[in-house]
Amino acid sequence: MRKYSVFALAREALRAHKGWEAQWSSPEPRSSYDVIIVGGGGHGLGAAYYLAKEHGITNVAVLEKGWLGGGNTGRNTTIIRSNYLYEESMDIYEHSLKLWEGLSQDLNYNVMYSPRGVMMLSHNTHDMQSFKRHINANRLYGIDNEWLTPEQAKAYCPPLDISKTARYPINGAALQKRGGTARHDAVAWGYARAASDRGVHIIQNTEVTGIRRGLNGEVTGVETNRGFIGAKKIGVSAAGHSSVVMEMAGVRVPLHSNPLQALVSEPLKPIFPCVVMSNTVHAYISQSDKGELVIGAGTDQYNSYSQTGGLQIITHTLDAICELFPMFRRVKMMRQWGGITDNTPDRSAIQSVTPVPGLFVNCGWGTGGFKATPGSANLFAHLIAKGEPHKLAAGLTLDRFRTGRLIDEAAAAAVAH
């Protein structure tokens, strides 16, 4: 693989960039593979990359029904953080954050990981109790997360309105400095390029229409719109469509697929230095390298695969944004879009073996999938290679819905008395 560097760039500049080769090859599928990953998003491509890199399994194909990164990988607001509450969550998101920190170098592809800080605003006593609980848990776990006074929050994010007259005045904030953003497309392309370089087959426009099983119920391969492709193991990482794909193997998973919308403003000169989130008023916002304000809206209330949502979700989010940052009221929304998030009952992901031998599933990342990409991919590769979960992902198995051992980050932030 041609190494990317400033020198290569300079060399190519002199010959009109004719020398660049395709970032990943697009081969015809083999008749069978050791592992087939269903879903060519960041999680799936990453899993294939780590299977090859860390487990020496290179006879791998990633099947994508559309274009790489066309699902939630290419539709999210690119926020990265690891300051979660429960050990199970901290384990995987911190593992992920550590990988983010070296990902551009590991992949030789600039994914533009930018630790500009993720600040979560506290608006009342209950927020403060909940955030302090996170901060203390994070500190004892070795994860950075600090409490800021309103003044410190304003210093870190000057556009913030900390006036006492606000409808929900800010009484502090939790800041994870290592949190930030990355370039979502680059993650998919970077993994695809690096995986392809290690022999993984990246096969786009190939939709899995069925999962074939053998006499003992084990998987033997997948039916696709391009015919049958054999596989010893199948890893499903098809966020948004996890239920649909798992149903092909007769496995029901506890998921709701909901529309999640986001929007960007027209490009502006740098005005917003970090990522700000507020659970109380339901908003999160950052500014992209192109200068767009990137704003995440809430999920629509109903199940849908339409990748569209209601305008009221957008307006509700902008209410909050303009309440926190009154000077943005004259800024304009340039583009809105929607993705499909798979949400589990406890809002934590599922990474698990399934009742079907050889079938593994990685789903249910809800609205947190992008930040988890490297960690999830890395641990999913381990699960597929070893047949059992890595200890950092041990809590994410399907079994918890029978035992009741949920990882309920949402409930932990329960609404106050």
Q: Which of 126, 125, 132 is nearest to 148 (CA)?
A: 132
Closest residue by Cα to residue 320 from 273, 274, 284, 268:
284
Minimum separation from the CB atom of position 33 to other proteins (A): 20
Closest separation in Å from C-beta 55 to other proteins: 25
Binding segment toward other proteins, per CB under 8 A, in 43-51, 60-68, 370-378, 380-388: 60-68
Residue 221: CB minimum distance to other proteins, A? 22
User: Looking only at residues 164 through 223 of this chain, which bind other proteins when binding is defined by CB under 8 A?
Assistant: 167-168, 180, 183, 185-186, 189-190, 204-205
Site for other proteins, residues 79 to 108, rule: CB under 8 A: 87, 90, 101-102, 104-105, 108
Minimum distance from residue 256 beta carbon to other proteins (Å): 6
- From residue 318, how far is each of 147, 171, 315, 332 by CA, in Å? 26, 21, 5, 11
Q: How far apart are CA 294 and CA 277, in angstroms?
A: 12
Instruction: Report the b/e string of 85-110 with b at 16+ CB within 10 A.
Output: bbebbbbbbbbbbebbeebbebbebe
Burial of 167 (0-12, 13-18, 19+ CB in 10 A): exposed
Of 110-169, which residues contact other proteins (CB under 8 A)? 110, 112-116, 123-126, 128-137, 139-142, 167-168
Q: Going by C-beta distance under 8 Å and a sequence separation of 6 or more, which residues neighbour residue 210?
A: 222, 223, 248
Q: Compare residues 149 and 306 and give the one whose CB is closer to other proteins.
A: 306
Whole-angstrom distance, CA of residue 186 vs CA of residue 42: 9
Quick one: which of 32, 268, 279, 357 contacts other proteins (CB under 8 A)? 268
Residues of this chain, 338-357, that bind other proteins according to CB under 8 A: 345
- Interface residues for other proteins in 271-330 (CB under 8 A)? 271, 281, 287, 289-291, 301-308, 310-312, 314-315, 318-323, 326-330
Residue 269 CB, shortest distance to other proteins, in Å, is 4
User: Which one among 9, 149, 151, 386 touches other proteins, defined by CB under 8 A?
Assistant: 9
Please, are residues 256 and 303 in contact by the beta-carbon 8 Å criterion? Answer: yes
Pick the closer one to other proteins by CB: 103 or 384. 103
Closer to other proteins by Cβ: residue 34 or 207: 207
* Residues 391-410, interacting with other proteins (CB under 8 A): 400-406, 408, 410
CB burial string 211-220: b at 16+ within 10 A, e below? bbbeeeeebb
Window 25 to 44, contacts with other proteins (CB under 8 A): 25-26
Q: Which is nearer to other proteins, 57 or 375 (CB)?
A: 375
Q: What is the C-alpha separation between 54 and 69, in angstroms, rounded?
A: 23
Pick the stretch among 68-76, 149-157, 229-237, 367-375 that binds other proteins (CB under 8 A).
68-76
26-27-31-36 Cα dihedral, nearest 10 degrees: -30
Q: Judged by CB under 8 A, does residue 337 bind other proteins?
A: yes
Q: Among residues 214 and 399, whose Cβ is nearest to other proteins?
A: 399
Nearest to other proteins of 135, 195 (CB atom)? 135
Which class for 3: exposed (0-12), middle (13-18), buried (19 or more C-beta within 10 A)? Answer: exposed
Distance in Å, CB of 66 to other proteins, minimum: 5
Here's the x/- map for other proteins, 221-260, by CB under 8 A: it reads as --------------------x-xx-------xxxxxx---
Compute CA distances 319 → 110, 159, 184, whole Å. Answer: 35, 16, 26
Instruction: Please report how close the Cβ of residue 56 comes to other proteins at its closest, in angstroms.
Output: 25
Find the radius of gyration of the CA atoms of the chain: 21
Nearer to other proteins, 155 or 244 (CB): 244
Q: Please tell me the distance from the alpha carbon of residue 348 to that of residue 366, in angstroms, as a whole number.
A: 7
Least separation in angstroms between CB 81 and other proteins: 15
CB of 255 to other proteins, least distance (A): 5
What is the smallest separation between the CB atom of 232 and other proteins, expressed in angstroms? 27
Q: Would you call 31 helix, strand, or coil by DSSP?
A: coil
Q: Can you tell me the distance from the alpha carbon of 213 to that of 221, in angstroms, rounded to the nearest whole number?
A: 7
